[in-house]
Amino acid sequence: MKTDWQTALYHTPLWLLYALLTVSGIFIVFAFCIRKTTFGQKFWLITKPCLDQSNRLKVISLILVLFLLVLLEVRISVLNTYFYNGLYSSLQYGDANAFWFFASINALLVIFKIIHYLLDYLMTQVFEIRWLEKLNHEMLSRWLSHKNYYRIKYEKELPDNIDQRIEQDAREFITGTVEMVRGVINSLVSIIEFTIILWGLSGILAIFGLHIPKGVVYFIYLFIITATVISVWIGSPLVRLNFEKEHFSGDYRYSLIRVRDHAESIAFYHGETREFAHLTDRFNTIIKNRWLIVKRMLGLDGFNTGVTQIAMILPLILQAPRFFAGQIQLGDMHQTVQAFNRLMRALSFFRLFYEDFTLYQARLNRLAGFIHKLHELETTEIHTPIECANYVALHDFGFKDQYGNILAQHLNIYLKHGDTLLIQGASGKGKTTLLKTIAGIYPFETIGKAECPCNAVILFLPQRPYMPQGSLREAICYPNINPHHPELIQTMKDCRLEKYIHALDNENDWQVILSPGELQRVAFIRILLSKPDVVFLDETSSALDEPTEALLYQLIKTRLPHMIILSVGHRGTLQPFHNKYLTLE
């Protein structure tokens, strides 16, 4: 007995080195092989952008440290079985000195386990946080670059709940990956180590008249593998159900956000009953899916609980005949129970991890689908028929919709510095679309030739200007106007928004607080502060009264006389402020 624990202790450093090299080699081979599978391709699609030359060495070093900590935990558990064997055997023989010796060693091992746990937790969190920072930066940059956040809404297969994919799915994907890899390594190494221990402790197993050498080990493997197969069969529908769970929950949250964002319109329509019915329908879909998961989990958890309870007494029953025959000691019995439970946990890893793995697959699919869609957008040619010039011009110009149908054609205009164009026409005739094509953000095919200043300051202002989160000062100066612009306060007075000067540094949801007319006054403040060369106004004065509209148009024409203005509007009162006109029929 003394030789066993001493040998295990003395060989620990060499064992850790050998195990680390072996696990690393197997991990590399496995990663290379799995890349050929659908699962591996999706995983690599997500993780590849996070690995670059600047951080590759750090990532590899951190992974090796995590591997070493996992192996160290297994080795501590192995040593623990030997020390407890000595502790219980000393009780059986009444050897007080041996008892206190092994008790002291176990106390030291407890202290070492605490230190190991804290270090393991710290390094795991460092790895996950660093990875999350990289992945979040990658997804945000790709989502916002090339106007993908805008172009993606025109896709036929629109990824749902993008906010959930960027925040929740990314975070839980990383945590799930770390847990899965650690669990697999821990389980495989534990299987090898504790099978060796059980092999040494087991003898001949007599069952139903058969005498099987090392039968305890065979019986344990047969028991747990059978339980795993049955468990996987019971829980297989959970992959689809958990994927639908994430999808339905995301849809429900999105519907709730829409009610919040459009609260005023719903209140004017008295649409509470309709919204309640819609939200209830979305919620009932979640509940229906949850009941299906509950029914499946009743069978899975019930079976797993039964297996766990049987496994608690099974090793004692299998070894009891040898103990009563005096072939093994009390310490051997306790070591058998420890080794069996650890082996069972290792062999049962996939069975017990199955539910989490189904959720993991769902998140993997959602993230891979989102990143794949971004990749498609990045590799798809953007239709930007704009040529550089010192003016704005259209030559026999037109544009098509996403199906190739012509929406407008044979448009011709020429705007030099100081010209102002008013675009009018019936609703749905493509007035806003025309502004998008000239601004270079229309994602579909165009006809003819368009020219626009390329190195000039261009400002596009929609009917309801966007106000980002933050202080009113930062919101007005969005996106790149100096928040402490020396003309800000005077410009607010000129645009009749002086009542909010005292609240410039107050943080609030200004998109909701300001009325539509006040939001449009903010748009004119942005024009006066940014002093663009070309400005696109898409019904940016529709919520203003006619005197205020006239005041603001006259203000920007007087202060920025060389600016090119392209306006979309229905009012006839806009005509005096423009010198050129285009009617879409």
> Has residue 3 got a pLDDT over 60?
no
> Has residue 239 got a pLDDT over 90?
no
Question: Encoding tokens for residue 220?
Answer: 């344990």
Which part of the chain has CATH 1.20.1560.10?
1-379
Q: How far apart are CA 214 and CA 200, in angstroms?
A: 9
**Tens-place pLDDT, residues 304-348:** 788 777 777 777 777 777 777 677 777 777 777 778 778 877 877
- Supply the pTM of this predicted model: 0.68
Q: How far apart are CA 144 and CA 482, in angstroms?
A: 22
Instruction: Quote the Cα angle for 91-82-26, to 5°.
Output: 165
The pLDDT assigned to 226 comes to: 83
- Taking all residues of the chain, what is their mean pLDDT, rounded to a whole number? 83
From the list 553, 530, 554, the residue with the least C-alpha distance to 541 is: 553
The pLDDT assigned to 160 comes to: 60
Exposure of 229 by Cβ count < 10 A (0-12 exposed, 13-18 middle, 19+ buried)?
exposed
The pLDDT assigned to 231 comes to: 78
The pLDDT assigned to 494 comes to: 93
- Would you place residue 495 in the very low, low, confident or very high pLDDT band (cuts 50, 70, 90)? very high
Give the whole-number percent of the chain exceeding pLDDT 70.
93
Which part of the chain has CATH 3.40.50.300?
386-583
Task: Please give the backbone phi and psi of residue 414, each rounded to the nearest 5 degrees, phi first.
Answer: -145, 120
> Has residue 544 got a pLDDT over 80?
yes
Pick the CATH number of 386-583 from 2.70.70.10, 3.20.20.80, 3.40.50.970, 3.40.50.300: 3.40.50.300
Q: Between 5 and 271, name the one with better pLDDT.
A: 271
From the list 451, 580, 578, 467, the residue with the least C-alpha distance to 522 is: 467
The pLDDT assigned to 1 comes to: 38
The pLDDT assigned to 154 comes to: 67
For 514, half-sphere exposure in the C-beta direction (CA atoms, 13 angstrom radius) is 27
CATH topology (fold) of 1-379: ABC transporter transmembrane region fold (1.20.1560)
Three-class SS state of 101:
helix
**Tens-place pLDDT, residues 412-449:** 888 898 899 898 888 777 888 888 887 777 777 788 88
Is there a contact between 294 and 241 (Cβ–Cβ < 8 Å)? no
**Tens-place pLDDT, residues 135-192:** 888 888 888 887 777 777 766 665 666 777 777 788 888 988 998 889 889 888 988 8
| Own/partner pairs, 58-62, CB within 8 angstroms, 24+ separation | 62/123, 62/126, 62/127, 62/130
Exposure of 123 by Cβ count < 10 A (0-12 exposed, 13-18 middle, 19+ buried)?
middle
Question: Encoding tokens for residue 507?
Answer: 């943080």
**Tens-place pLDDT, residues 84-97:** 777 777 777 777 88
